[in-house]
Amino acid sequence: MSQQAMNVTHRMVPSPGGRIHVVEQGAGPLVLLVHGFPESWYSWRHQLPALASAGYRAAAIDVRGYGRSSKPGDLEAYRMLELVEDNAAVVEALGERSAVVVGHDWGSVIAANSALLRPDVFRAVGMLSVPYAPRGGPRPSEVFARMGGDEEFYVAYFQEPGRAEAEIEPDVRGWLAGIYAAFSGDTTAGPGAPDPHFVSRGGRLRDRFPAGRLPGWLSEDELDFYAGEFERTGMSGALHRYRNMDRDWEDLARFDGAPITQPSLFAGGALDASTTWMADAIKAYPATLPGLVTSEVLDGCGHWIQQERPAEINRLLTGWLAALPA
């Protein structure tokens, strides 16, 4: 789907970190769409027209550090508190007082924290692929260091500035094709294959990616769009999100164990490790998401849920949104 065919409006709006790139379609109640890693506003290309047709003002952003949005040089500028305030600033800049926020992957975590920290702005929250889990437990870096045994968990691998960039940036398009295939329902390597969430000591993450074909949801032109964005921006802004997880743990200490009480939605893929590894978080939803309206796990679906299953996600989102209090 080309940008031209989508009939979208691009704009830049002020934010605490500089400017945020917003792509809009439709009119009505505001729905703010927040992407994950390694993506962009473009990951919502199927949702923008569907939400607009259903009577909503859909606004997909480039998260700070991505695409056309500002890319502060300070690593600490990518902590969760900053990204939440970016979201609130976008709502204000669009002339609205409140919005529904929906996120995928890291965007799911950003959306959840936006609802938690700014309930005055975000009246409902949708989370795709990554379940809500309240802040708690040991420091994240300690948890990641214990995972994988002789191998290194990918989040730990991403921690050192420049290390993952050195793997990715010489062949951005090939690396993106690999990670999209590795976590897609139709191209995942499956049981028995080396797990692409881990890195062999001295190895590279891409050594675990399947090669040879794109997932069914991704065309060559769509891959070109993603690659072009990261060729222009580099990867550091995106990777700095991972490098602030311990800071987030410290910043959010006052919210330890806190539930999100606004109306909420969750959807995940049955073949997505984010869903399976965090099954206990989903089981805890009666306590952690007391306002939960919709929760579904899609059979045969991987991580890139709104791109792998756009019709189903559009149905879930529009049905949930229609049921929300005005």
Q: Tens digit of pLDDT for each residue in 112-128?
A: 999 999 999 999 999 99
Among candidate residues 86, 105, 248, 272, the one labeled active-site is: 105
For the chain, the domains span: 3-323
Residue showing tokens 């500028």? 77
105 is an active site residue: yes
User: Which residues of the chain, if any, have pLDDT below 50?
Assistant: 1-4
104 is an active site residue: no
pTM for the full predicted model: 0.97
Q: State how far the Cα of 48 lies from the Cα of 297, in Å rounded to an integer.
A: 22
Four-way CATH pick for 3-323: 1.10.3720.10, 3.40.50.1820, 3.90.1150.10, 3.10.129.10: 3.40.50.1820
Amino acid at 87: N
**Contact status, residue 265 vs residue 320, Cβ threshold 8 Å:** yes
Q: In the beta sheet, which residues pair with residue 199?
A: 152
pLDDT tens by residue, 126-164: 999 999 999 999 999 999 988 878 899 999 999 999 999
Q: State how far the Cα of 171 lies from the Cα of 14, in Å rounded to an integer.
A: 32
